[in-house]
Structure 1
Amino acid sequence: MNKEVMKFNSLWGGFRASRVILTANNLRVFENIGKGRTADDLASVLQTDPRATEILLDAVASLGLLRKSRGTYRLAPPAKRFLLPDSPWYQGDMLRHADTLWKNWSGLDEVVRTGRPNRAGTRDHDVFIKAMHNNAMMRARDVIRALDLRGVKKALDLGGGPGTYGIELAKKGISITLFDLPNTLEVAKDLIRRSGATGIAFRGGDFHIDDIGSGYDLALLSLVLHSHNRIENLALLNKVFNSLSSGGQIAIHEFKLNEDHASPVPGALFSVNMLVNTEEGRSYTPREMKDWLKRAGCGKTALKDLGDTVVVTGRKR
């Protein structure tokens, strides 16, 4: 089979690997495998069919998350790092959220026909917010390093979800206001308590209509704008601009999308995720975000490329 055929097959066949990993995570294979188990032993623990369990475990091993030796399965290093709940890099909640996305994405045909989102999967809000924490844990330090924090004493983490970015900012002695919906803040409070972070205040509400406070030296909007349309984003950035102190800055963190809107792959596919799951969301380009910042009143804007995401900043003159 030539390389072109193999590449094409991997494009349409990628769902199989995803489904195997999501199912293994749903069944809690990784946290129950301990120091090693046979398929029959694990099936007894999980109360699953032995034959089906063996086939699933073999597939997981083929993907590099398990190691199989003489009929015994053990965790491979990536599984230990990302799929054990006591790991600081745990991604299990993200995979549980992805299982909900799987159900929603399965309605993509109808979404494209109608332009309406598909919310077939029942979303557990706590799992969603913890999934956002899983995701942010992988990115937060790089994002915070990309910011100019000179003179920043008071910061707003707007739509900050689990507060992961706020935690990293608080470690630098910055006073943080975490703004999000009240039910989101309940999850965030527990995560922040467990992190040991201090200096974080909570403000509940809808940032489109409620007061977000004022006097901020920095306002961070991390992975917020992609859920909304252009008009809503410009209005929100105007509101955020007015909440800044003189010389304050807005920092937008979003998935990278080039000017052709068709690359790179993660940004283009994430736009589909927003198509499926929101009324009018999508991925946006740095040029669009810079334009909104300038129209909101910011002077010089700047861009930092973090790989699959970007940080776009603008300062209040």
Structure 2
Amino acid sequence: MARAAAVTSTTPRPGEPDPLAATNRSGAVLSRLQLLVTRKLDGLLQGDYAGLLPGPGSEAGESREYRPGDDVRRMDWPVTARTTTPHVRRTVADRELETWLAVDLSASLDFGTGQWLKRDVVIAAAAAITHLTVRGGNRIGAVVGSGGDVPAPRRGRRQPPPVGPGRLVRLPARSGRKEAQGMLRAIAGTEIRPGRGDLGALIDMLNRPPRRRGVAVVISDFLAPPAQWARPLRKLRVRQDLLAIEVVDPRELELPDVGVLPVIDPETGELHEVQTADPGLRHRYAAAAAAQRAEISAALRAAGAAHLRLRTDRDWLLDMVRFVAAQRHARTRGTTR
């Protein structure tokens, strides 16, 4: 399916709310939630999440025979009764969580026909994840991709620009709300560049060097071919709890009947005029869009990622709250994602 979008201004619409400010106002709601972390961590500092190694903590670990000097308050009486030998229960150390965001701000995100531009929803999602994770010494960092450096071609030129890594920026993981707010300001201030970015290269930045166990969140529209990003995503899932946030605009799913509609590919600059009054064309467009989204969902499931879809014409905060609540409900019932 062609990555075409209706012509839209890259500047904020008059009176349109600032997504970062809106997310800050939603902090009271998000602070009551906590992102589900199922993988044990190997951090170094005391935190709120189960670690890999024994140590002072709240989660029960393995039992071992009692040795002089052990705390008698940790006696494992059921094991002691079965073996007739005194045993103590070891606990697993609580560790801090390290979260990394892969934020796609390529040219295809600079588009929107709903309440928000897609890039606004991306920034809002990054801010929401920050509110959900930055507490108790937890650290959060980000890698940001802002498209390529290929100039847009003139009208009539058909050859697409070569796919390249574009501009990739790494924001180191730090703890503290002040540092997290600085990271969000840097993301919000990122300039979108023309040309195609490489989502696979962006995700691969989280694989090199290998990260400690934690949470990795990829925020994108995932319009690049899955062959480009599926393998790095599967590799990332080996050590990380993985969340994929897909940002969608309604005009990417179906075309309205508005007559002749000028559309432009924001990554290549190609301009076309589409006759949307043709019902056959609208049907083929919707079918191709549905097939594309199904392929994206299948690739994300194959990678083992939790999948959250946010739309520019819906309340992104409500969708995120429902997603986190559903994940926690499924976990408490003993089911998987």
- Regarding TM over 0.5, the answer is no
Q: Structure 2-normalised TM-score?
A: 0.35
Q: Structure 1-normalised TM-score?
A: 0.37
Q: Which of 1 and 2 has greater Rg?
A: 2
**Is the strand fraction higher in 1 or 2?**
2
**Is the helix fraction higher in 1 or 2?**
1
Q: Which has the higher contact order (CA 8 A, sep 6+)?
A: 2
